[in-house]
Amino acid sequence: MMASSDFQADVRALQKVLAARHLHQHNKQMSCPAMGQLLSNALYYKRFFPYYTFNVLGGLDNEGKGCAFTYDAVGSYERVGYSSQGSGSTLIMPFLDNQLKSPSPLLLPTQVWFWL
């Protein structure tokens, strides 16, 4: 499942490109990591006149485990446990961090100090 934010005309165009490439290349359902790479390639191909979209892709990998990928406008992506994009991202990410018990990757791990 792909969720996109920002310019809706670019979102629709990107969805059409992905559907056409998937239909042309495969006659079966793609795995989430394969779709993630296809989305990254499609975004990177248009890097000089990019699609103004920020995407989150989620699904199951080949082992049946959940996976989520987050993207920027030029195709750089990262596999994450959870993510959000768009204007509400600054509001929902602290909630997700709190509820899913996972600290932000930007924070340093806590250090344990022993006093003698």
13 pLDDT above the threshold of 70 = yes
Question: Residue 53 to residues 3, 23, 94, 99, 102: CA-CA distances in angstroms?
Answer: 10, 22, 23, 27, 26
Read off the pTM.
0.73
Domains of the chain: 2-100 (3.60.20.10)
Q: What is the pLDDT of residues 33-64, one digit of tens each?
A: 888 888 898 888 888 888 888 889 988 888 88
Tokens 């961090």 map to which residue? Answer: 97
Q: Which two tokens stand for residue 59?
A: 């699904």
Residue labelled with tokens 């995407």: 55
Q: What is the DSSP letter of 110?
A: P
pLDDT at 116 over 80: no
